[in-house]
C-alpha cells in the first residue's frame, strides 16, 4: 500500500515538474509570422485575407490631415468606396471632427498609436499607454472603440502582438501592397505600384498625409474598379475569409454573379470565377 503511495507521489512530482518545464519554455516559436497559427487558435495578424471574390481593403495611415483627409473622404464618397483609416492619436485629438466624419460615412477607424513610435523597441507600459490614449481619442471622436491596430512601421514583436490582442482585443493589421508613397515618388508611381501588386484579398497601404498619395487616388480607384475590384473595410474583408483550397485549379469563365456575393461561410463550394488578374 505505502509503496504504491510512494510511487504515486513520485509519478505526480514528475508530471508536475514536466508541466512546469513546458510552461516556462519561452515562446520562441513566434519569431516568424502569423502563418504559424494553428487552426484552433483564431488568427490575430493579417497581411492579406484569402477571399472568394475580387475584394480588397484600401488603408490610409498617419492621419487625419486637416486638408488632405477631407479631400480623400470626398473622393471615397464619390466612388462609394469604404476604406480603413489607421489614425495617429495626436492627430485625432487635433481633428476629432474629421475622424467622426470618416466613421459616419462608413469607413473603419483603426489604432495606429499616439505618436508613431517603434513598438518593438519599447516597454510594454509605453506601448500600452500609446494604444490606450489613442483608443480613448477614437472613442471620444466616433463613439466607438477600434478593433484593429496597425503598429507604426509594421514593427511589433510576437510577444507584443499576443498581449495587445489579449488586452485590447485588437487584430493586428499589416499589408501586402506597399507603394512606398511616404517616399513621395509621384502620383503615377504610387498608382502603378498599387495596380501591379493588388490581388483579391489584398490590404493596400497608403498614407493620407502626402499630397501625392491623394493625387494618385482618383486614377488608382478608376483603374482598380476597371479591373473589377470591390472595396471593403479591413474588418469586412476578414469576415469574408475562406479557407485556402487544397487543390489549386481555379476555373475560368464561371458565373460572375455568384462570385459577386461575398461568401461568409467557410464554403465548400468551388470558387466559380477567376478573380481579376493580379497586375499584368
Ligand atoms: Zn504610420
Instruction: Please check whether residue 91 lies inside any domain of the structure.
Output: yes
Q: In the chain, how many domains are there?
A: 1
Per annotation, catalytic residue among 107, 112, 207, 210: 207
Look up the pTM and report it. 0.75
What are residue 51's DSSP bridge partners? 241
pLDDT tens-digit profile of 218-232?
999 999 999 999 999
pLDDT given for residue 245 in this prediction: 74
Annotated catalytic residue 79: no
pLDDT tens-digit profile of 182-228?
999 999 999 999 999 999 999 999 999 999 999 999 999 999 999 99
Q: Among 38-42, 105-109, 170-174, which is the least confidently predicted range?
A: 38-42
Helix crossing, 158-168 with 124-142: angle to 10°? Answer: 40
Instruction: Please check whether residue 176 lies inside any domain of the structure.
Output: yes
Cell of 144: 466607438
CA-nearest of 239, 279, 280 to 53 is: 239
* Helix or strand (DSSP H, E) at 205: strand 203-207
The CA R_g of the chain, rounded to the nearest whole Å, is 22
Q: Report how far ligand 1's centroid is from the alpha carbon of 62 (Å).
A: 5
The string over 241-260, giving b where at least 16 C-beta atoms fall within 10 Å of a residue's C-beta and e elsewhere, is bbeeeeeeeeeeeeeeeebe
Q: Report how far ligand 1's centroid is from the alpha carbon of 250 (Å).
A: 36
Matching residue, cell 481579376? 276
User: pLDDT > 90: what percent of the chain?
Assistant: 71
CA gap 139, 100 in Å, rounded: 10
CA gap 185, 198 in Å, rounded: 18
pLDDT tens-digit profile of 137-152?
999 999 999 999 999 9
pLDDT tens-digit profile of 70-126?
999 999 999 999 999 999 999 999 999 999 999 999 999 999 999 999 999 999 999
Instruction: Please check whether residue 122 lies inside any domain of the structure.
Output: yes
Instruction: Please check whether residue 22 lies inside any domain of the structure.
Output: no
CA gap 263, 241 in Å, rounded: 8
Instruction: Please check whether residue 248 lies inside any domain of the structure.
Output: no
CA distances from 263 to 15, 47, 271 (A): 46, 20, 10
pLDDT tens-digit profile of 229-271?
999 999 999 999 999 876 554 444 434 333 433 333 333 333 3
Average pLDDT, the chain: 82
Per annotation, catalytic residue among 61, 62, 181, 208: 61
What are residue 150's DSSP bridge partners? none
Annotated catalytic residue 181: no
Mean of pLDDT values over 154-158? 98
Confidence of residue 42 (pLDDT cuts 50, 70, 90): confident
Domain hosting 210: range is: 46-239
Instruction: Please check whether residue 21 lies inside any domain of the structure.
Output: no
Instruction: Please check whether residue 7 lies inside any domain of the structure.
Output: no
Instruction: Please check whether residue 105 lies inside any domain of the structure.
Output: yes
pLDDT given for residue 246 in this prediction: 66
**Is there a contact between 99 and 141 (Cβ–Cβ < 8 Å)?**
yes
| CATH code assigned at 205 | 3.20.20.370
Matching residue, cell 470626398? 74
Amino acid at each position: 500500500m505505502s509503496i504504491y503511495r510512494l510511487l504515486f507521489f513520485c509519478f505526480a512530482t514528475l508530471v508536475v515538474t514536466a508541466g512546469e518545464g513546458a510552461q516556462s519554455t519561452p515562446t520562441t516559436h513566434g519569431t516568424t509570422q502569423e502563418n504559424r497559427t494553428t487552426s484552433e487558435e483564431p488568427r490575430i495578424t493579417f497581411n492579406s485575407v484569402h477571399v472568394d471574390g475580387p475584394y480588397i481593403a484600401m488603408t490610409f495611415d498617419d492621419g487625419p490631415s486637416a486638408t488632405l483627409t477631407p479631400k480623400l473622404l470626398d473622393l471615397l464618397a464619390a466612388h462609394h468606396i469604404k476604406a480603413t483609416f489607421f489614425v495617429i492619436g495626436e492627430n485625432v485629438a487635433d481633428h476629432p471632427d474629421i475622424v467622426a466624419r470618416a466613421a459616419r460615412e462608413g469607413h473603419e477607424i483603426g489604432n495606429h498609436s499616439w505618436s508613431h513610435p517603434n513598438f518593438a523597441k519599447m516597454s510594454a507600459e509605453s506601448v500600452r499607454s500609446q494604444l490606450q490614449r489613442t483608443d480613448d481619442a477614437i472613442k471620444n471622436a466616433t463613439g466607438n472603440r477600434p478593433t484593429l491596430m496597425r503598429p507604426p512601421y509594421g514593427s511589433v514583436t510576437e510577444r507584443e502582438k499576443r498581449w495587445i490582442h489579449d488586452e485590447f482585443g485588437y487584430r493586428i493589421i499589416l499589408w501586402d501592397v506597399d507603394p512606398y508613397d511616404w517616399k513621395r515618388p509621384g502620383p503615377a508611381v504610387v498608382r502603378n505600384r498599387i495596380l501591379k501588386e493588388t490581388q483579391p484579398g489584398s490590404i493596400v497601404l497608403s498614407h493620407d498625409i502626402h499630397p501625392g498619395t491623394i493625387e494618385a487616388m482618383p486614377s488608382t480607384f478608376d483603374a482598380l474598379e476597371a479591373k473589377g475590384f470591390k472595396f471593403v473595410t479591413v474588418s469586412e474583408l476578414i469576415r469574408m475569409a475562406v479557407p485556402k483550397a487544397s487543390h489549386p485549379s481555379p476555373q475560368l469563365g464561371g458565373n460572375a454573379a455568384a462570385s459577386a456575393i461575398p461568401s461568409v461561410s467557410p464554403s465548400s463550394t468551388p470558387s466559380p470565377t477567376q478573380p481579376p488578374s493580379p497586375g499584368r
